[in-house]
Amino acid sequence: MDKQKKILESALQLFVEYGFHGTPTSKIASNAGVAAGTLFHYFKTKDELVINLYNRIKGELNTYVYSQIDNNDTVEAKFRTLFNHTLYWALKNNQEFYFIQQFHFSPHLASIPPDELVNQAKPHIELFEQAVREGILKPLPADLLLTLVGSHVYGLHQYLAKAGFDKKRESEVIDQAFEMIWDMITI
């Protein structure tokens, strides 16, 4: 019913399948069951639609993942929760997660203000810094640790998305992968 939402859903699906420039706005609109002009009522330009979609998805992932964290948890429990729920979300929202990466390897990334990207990463960075101070993690730069753990998550998601295991096998692999990366970054 909500046409803006329909447009966003339609755009996501088509962008992931055909790429940003491989999907005309007319197709996004018709696929959403909406006239071509309606798209431009909600989004001034196609670029604005792309960026809006990215910000929404990034926001959904972040709020979901951080809603799972209990501040009374130990640092290790926090990392485990973050890791597990990021993967859980990514596997449940394959298109969204793929879109994030697609966006990161596109020129659109340049239109996100750098300080906003820093802000997005801030909670993660602070967790890493705290864990380094507490002597839990190896004394490495927090942004290096974040990049390495992030890559690990991306790679694991890619593997699991392609493999298509059942839930049981999936969480076995995730648990094993967490132990591996945890061993890697802890002292």
By CB under 7 A, residue 17 contacts DNA: no
Helix (H, G, I), strand (E, B) or coil at 72: coil
Q: Binding marks (x or -) toward DNA, 25..44, rule CB under 7 A?
A: xx-------xxxxx-xx--x
Q: If you compute the radius of gyration of the chain from its CA atoms, what whole number of angstroms results? A: 19
Q: Binding marks (x or -) toward a second copy, 164..183, rule CB under 8 A?
A: ---------x--xx--xx-x
CA distances from 186 to 4, 36, 90, 179 (A): 45, 53, 25, 10
By CB under 8 A, residue 24 contacts a second copy: no
Pick the binder of a second copy from 26, 101, 111, 119 (CB under 8 A): 101
Provide, rounded to whole angstroms, the least separation between the CB of residue 54 and DNA: 16
Integer Cα distance of 21 and 170 in angstroms: 34
186 strand-pairing partners: 137
Provide, rounded to whole angstroms, the least separation between the CB of residue 95 and a second copy: 13
Q: Binding marks (x or -) toward a second copy, 26..65, rule CB under 8 A?
A: ----------------------------------------
By CB under 7 A, residue 107 contacts DNA: no
Helix (H, G, I), strand (E, B) or coil at 186: strand
Nearest alpha carbon to residue 185 among 153, 155, 122, 142: 142
Helix (H, G, I), strand (E, B) or coil at 184: helix
Residues that bind DNA (CB under 7 A): 3, 21, 23-26, 34-38, 40-41, 44-47
